[in-house]
Structure formats: structure tokens, C-alpha cells
Amino acid sequence: MDNQKYLKKVIIDKVSGNEAVEFDDVTIEESRLNLYLNGEKAISMMCIPIDQDAHAIGFLMSENVISSIDDVEELTLSEDGLRVDIKAKINEGSLENLYTEKTLVSGCGGGVTGNVAGSVEIPFNQVSFQVKPETISTEVKKFYEESELYKLTGCVHKAMIYLLDGTTVTSEDIGRHNAIDKVVGKCKLKGLDTTKSVLFVSGRLSSEMVTKAVMHKVPIIVSRTAPTYLGVQTAHKHGVTLIGFARGKRMNLYTHQGRIDV
């Protein structure tokens, strides 16, 4: 992937002590993605114009507007990459919630959700399997070492799905919630089963980040930073193993620790 095309040049002053030096720098492109559902505009989202089809699928499934990738009949992306049209079987109630029960979430990038207040009932996640701590540590290290756009700009978040056979799928975006929607959407479009997987995310584990894992039936979510109290409560309630402060060989297990083979 040519990530250079998503970079924009800027001229800045770098200050060190009392001295300022003019410097050519780069930052990330931010675009408005318009999502149309069954011919009607559903929502606009600010994002990096990468993996727009996956972004749309992941978002709609996160909000329970679409229950399954099998419900999608047609998906097209405009030539400029800023419009996604989807024809699908939808859950009208969840779509209505998206318009009437909007909540500005704490994930960066101006994320909005309409289904974080318990309007969707999700069964407790009882998936049983174990992952070794050293696997978590190894994948966390790779997760940060292989973040190209972050190295170039320092301006993006990343999400990664790790499957038990060692397969990994990654996405980057200006918003943590966008990155999760994209990476899960990519998995769904590829026909990958995420019900036995680990979701690695950058940044804090707030409630809406955990809720996305819940909605996609992902049983383990990992970050090297902290969860919020509501994030911990959400994970506990829905059967998600929540891991924070995963750094080196150390990590904190907050909920449903049995999936980690210690």
C-alpha cells in the first residue's frame, strides 16, 4: 500500500529552547466519507480515505444496522473514494437509533454512535480458548513496530485482529473507533471468523471501544494503555477478556482472565 499518498506537506517552526527553525513536515489527510444505505444517505464520517468499504461494513455491523456480512447484497465505492453505497437487509430499529440517540463518544475523531445505551441485546460471550501471555507480548511488540503511518506522522491510531492460526489483519485511522470498524470490516469482507480472536488497539479502552468488540463477538481486547471503569464494567458484563498496560512481558488482566494461559 502506498501510504505516501495520504500525507500532506506542511511548513512548521521547530522550537528548541529559545531557537525556532523552519522545517518541512508531513501530516495526515482527513476526508469526509459519505455512507449511503439502500439509496439513502445514512451518515458521514471523518477518516483517512483507506479501506472505505471495510470501514462502512464494520461501522454498520458495530451499530447492529447490519447483522451479518451475508445481508449485504451490493457494495460500491465512488471513483474519488469518498462515497460508499451499500444495498443490504438492515435492522430498521438500529438505523433509527443512529439518527435519534446519537452520543459523541470519547474515541477521537468525532465518533458518533446510536447504540451504546443497551438498546441492543448481545448474548454473554462464552467462547472458551486460551492464549499464552508470551503470544500477547509478541503481538503487542509487532503491533507498534509495524505502524507505518504512525511512524510517518504520529497522527493515527491502529487496530489489529489476531487469529489463532497466526493470521493478522490491521488498519489505521485518525480515530480509534474508525480503526476498529475498518479492521473488523476487512475480516468480514475476507470471510474470516473473529469469534476466536484477539483485538489489539492503540489508546485507552473506553466503553465504546469495548462495545465494538462485544458487537463483533471478539472475546479478547488488548491495549498497552488503561481501561476506563465503564470499559471494565462493559467487558465484565458481556464476557470479554480485557487486557490493559500490555508492555513487554507485563500486562493487567481486568476481566475473564481464564482465556489467558498463565
What distances in angstroms separate CA 248 from CA 65, 110, 139, 142, one per listed residue? 38, 31, 10, 11
Catalytic residue among 47, 108, 155, 187: 108
- What is the Cα–Cα distance from 153 to 228, expressed in whole angstroms? 27
What distances in angstroms separate CA 142 from CA 46, 87, 201, 204, one per listed residue? 27, 37, 12, 18
Q: Which helix (H) or strand (E) holds 178?
A: helix 176-190
What is the 8-class DSSP label of residue 209? H
Q: Does 108 participate in catalysis according to the annotation?
A: yes
Strand extents, DSSP E, 29-167: 31-37, 40-47, 72-77, 83-88, 103-104, 112-113, 157-163
Strand extents, DSSP E, 134-236: 157-163, 168-173, 197-201, 220-222
Q: Which helix (H) or strand (E) holds 189?
A: helix 176-190
- What is the Cα–Cα distance from 194 to 188, expressed in whole angstroms? 8
- What is the Cα–Cα distance from 65 to 126, expressed in whole angstroms? 24
* Residue 199 · residue 159 · CB < 8 Å: yes
**Residues near 1 by Cβ (< 8 Å), separated by ≥ 6?**
50
Looking at the annotation, which residues are catalytic? 108
